[in-house]
Amino acid sequence: MNQQWKRQLPAENIQNIIPVAGGDVNDAYRVDTADQSYFLLVQPNHTADFYAAEVAGLKEFQNAGVTAPVVQGNGEIDGNAYLLLDYLEAGARGSQRKLGRLVAKLHQKHHPDNRFGYDLPFEGGDISFDNTWTGSWKELFVNRRLDQLNDSIIEKGLWNKAQAATYQQVRKIIVETLEERESVSSLLHGDLWAGNYMFLTDGNPVLFDPAPLYGDREFDLGATLVFGGFTEDFYHAYQEDYPLDDDAWSRIQFYKLYLLMVHLVKFGRVYEQSVDRTMQEIVSNG
């Protein structure tokens, strides 16, 4: 990065800006100053608003007593959005039980009027979703997320007629199931896969990179099933602190499907079989 970044970032005496791993959406860097280090996310060719929801989510997490990075700055330099955070040092291991309790604590922050959505939209690089507030979880999840993903998959030519027909079967099952459920609106991480938590050097868990919204907490748990990284200790501790309904796991498959469809849109046919298999499981259980 050039000297302009060192001059304009809200940190004094910057010595180094070093590229690090940061996921598939952002460019990521460690910023070293004379006194401390920061974690810098950059989204090329976007305004500062790209990170508005993430900033709001991290602040809400902290207000709810959920460990998350502290926002140190957000802005735009040379036409590129940036988000500057505390640099958190990862530890070698940590407690999945503590992680389960941390997520349960997050989900116990409820919207006072049981509304679903968020003040800001979801921005994920090449995918965005409307989070306008609604009284219906079904509308937010099915109409504004699943259906949009279905349209994108068809537009990209990633589904044949049989797969598109199976989606309509699955959609009917999801709609009927959610119409019978009285969803409670919880503060959600929104993208709770294993790459968005870590354990600190003291072994305690921290959540980061949120795509925040208020919705049914089963949404987050569905994401935990896709790529692994959550053990039985995580689910047992979550259940102890915030018990799920007996039939929750059949619905949680809906949200696993959602995240797989997101990845099908973003990365193509490598996720086709996983999406097909999850749709068939939902049809079989429906």
> Which residues are catalytic, by number?
191
Burial 85-96 (b: 16+ CB within 10 A, else e): bebbeeeeebbb
Residue carrying structure tokens 């499981």: 281
Q: How far apart are CA 22 and CA 184, in angstroms?
A: 32
- Which contacts qualify for 99-102: CB closer than 8 Å, 24 or more apart? 99/197, 99/199, 99/205, 99/230, 99/234, 99/237, 100/233, 100/234, 100/235, 100/236, 100/237, 100/238, 100/239, 100/240, 100/241, 101/237, 101/238, 101/241, 102/66, 102/67, 102/205, 102/207
| Strand partners of residue 207 | 197
Interior angle at CA 132, CA 255 and CA 167, nearest 5: 35
